[in-house]
Structure 1
Amino acid sequence: MRFGPAGYPAAGKKPEGALEYTRGLGLDALEVEFVRGARIGEERAQEIGRKAKELDIRLSCHAPYFISFNSEEQEKRDKSVDYVTSTARAAHNLGAYIIVIHAASYGKSPDTALGNVIDGLNRSKEVLDDEGIRDVILGVETMGKLGQFGTLKEIAQVMDSVDGVRPVLDVAHVHARGHGSLRTEQDMRDLTDEFFGLCGDVAHFHISCIKYGDKGEISHLPLETKEPDLQLLANVLDDSKQECTFICESPLIEKDAVVFRDMFPRYRLRGTSRARGR
């Protein structure tokens, strides 16, 4: 299992420094946040990727928030393909294994969402295949608002029609969408069992706690709020053989990544430095 922050910790100042700082905390994953656009040159991405590989940090990338495959405007749907493909190119150059995508909102046409997401991701995949980029998974994230496309069942339907797609399980989003549905270890076990049936070789998680209301997600919260209590998730997964990456999206990105790692008895009992091979 690997654990890390969503974004470069500020203490590192530059990406290489942030990677070193992350590794110094005993963390070994990091998600590069391209949420405003994947603006990075090929050479620079390769430099950062080499540093991550040297430190044994598994990289992933988050695609821009602007993706809207179910937009009523064709121009926005076309632009969404550009956002996915530009992020995948950056991920390829970084050596990142997956990009995380917020695929669509239901908007005024919920009945068209599934078909439009499938169409948009198929178009994205065709572009990437033509460019020889086949090493980056298109990860569709489970979403926390009732008006957003992104349940595990919906993502499974996308996978039936688009090669190279996997789900990204945002546990807090599922909790918020279900108005506080993850209360017991059995709740967590049922969720992860469904996810592991779809995730492929590596299960990519987003973890945090969350404030929610009638329409689902409002904002991410630190793990200390226990909404949901992620100790339940750690208890369920501690003896799992599934390879996992846990990316922390709480406001305390690197600190709570360490907190969550240490919720696992396998790491807590052996000691951080020995458990992480340092």
Structure 2
Amino acid sequence: MKPNIIFGPAGRPIDYKGAAYEACSYITKEGLRAYEYQAGRGLRIGQKSANILKEESIKEDILVSIHAPYYINLSAVDEKKLDMSIETLMKTAQVADWMGAYRIVFHPGYYLKNNPSDALAIAKNALNRVISKLDDEGIYDYTFAPETTGKRSQLGNIDEIIELCSSFDCVKPTIDFAHIHARGRGYIQKKDDYNCVLSKLENNLEIDRLHCHFTRIEYTKSGERRHHTFDEIEYGPELKWLLESFIENDWKATIICETPLLDKDALKMKELYESLLI
């Protein structure tokens, strides 16, 4: 049985030298239980390799997710860009099916010339097109996981993510707490700020296991600027408060570490979590 809170890296571990699709045994030996396969710069994995990842993840009891390409923009005004984004998200769902990924993480898009409500409406329609096309292809076993975004020019504040998730049965949130912190120009200043986010999720969505991203983050007035390591405590947000909130309210969550030290910092996060259980 998995612990309530499990941790893993966003991409291949720092000192791991093998193929990314064969990293599960290395991750298990480290003591981690999750792995987010990174396809942010493009889908460069075929069915054979993805199947190997699935087999290894089952053998090693690693919970796998996949991050879709960053260039997806479901609120694009240009029809060609929108069609490309829909096609890319469809292809990511196919790859996710091959590798047994329990979440397909993606950035919803950008406001550009749209006001936020129009951008959200375009994204909802685009996601509906993706789901319909997947139905036509006979692909049903997937869960899209739109991520809270870190720049104020991006579609993806907490309310917009909740709206996307509440509109479709096959959509669950990815809550990037660093992005919420940066987008809000230092939003998380105390444990109650985490509780506000978690309460909003609990009041609006049914979530069995919350998929999360975490890093310490530097921001400007426009939002996210740069990720920092877990030990760079001059940057927020504070992880301890989040873990305390999860423990006190009996949440189940997967926390994917996005600091520059990936698995090394994921292990530090796990160590902190286990210290709070004593």
TM-score (norm 2): 0.91
Match of 1:230? 239
Query: What is the rounded CA distance, in whole Å, between the counterparts of 1:5 and 1:205 in structure 2?
Result: 11
Q: Which runs of 5+ in 2 are unaligned?
A: none
Deviation at 1:212, TM superposition (A): 0.3
Match of 2:114? 109
Deviation at 1:14, TM superposition (A): 2.0
For 2:255, give the aligned amino acid: F
For 1:236, give the aligned amino acid: S
Deviation at 1:16, TM superposition (A): 5.5
SS at match of 1:225: coil
Of 210, 220, 233, which aligns to 2:217? 210
SS at match of 1:31: strand
Query: What is the rounded CA distance, in whole Å, between the counterparts of 2:265 and 2:184 in structure 1?
Result: 23
Structure 1 residues 16 and 268 mapped into 2: Cα distance closer, same or farther (>3 Å)? farther
For 2:223, give the aligned amino acid: G
Match of 1:178? 184
Structure 1 residues 147 and 49 mapped into 2: Cα distance closer, same or farther (>3 Å)? same
Alignment size in residue pairs: 269
1:85 aligns with 2:90: yes
Of 251, 258, 266, which aligns to 1:249? 258
Deviation at 1:144, TM superposition (A): 0.9
Of 7, 13, 17, which aligns to 1:9? 13
C-alpha root-mean-square deviation of aligned residues, in Å? Answer: 1.7
Match of 1:23? 28
Q: Which runs of 5+ in 1 are unaligned?
A: 270-278
1:134 aligns with 2:140: yes
State the Cα deviation string for residues 208-267 of structure 1 (Å, max 9, x = none).
Answer: 010001111111111222311111111221244322111001101001111111111467
Query: What is the rounded CA distance, in whole Å, between the counterparts of 2:237 and 2:225 in structure 1?
Result: 14
Q: Which has the bigger relative contact order, CA under 8 A and spacing at least 6?
A: 2
1:46 aligns with 2:43: no
SS at match of 1:257: helix
Dislocated runs of 4+, deviation >6 Å: none
1:63 aligns with 2:68: yes
Structure 1 residues 94 and 267 mapped into 2: Cα distance closer, same or farther (>3 Å)? farther
The alignment-based identity, stated in percent, is 35
State the Cα deviation string for residues 70-105 of structure 1 (Å, max 9, x = none).
Answer: 222100000001111111111111011111110111
Query: What is the rounded CA distance, in whole Å, between the counterparts of 2:40 and 2:22 in structure 1?
Result: 21
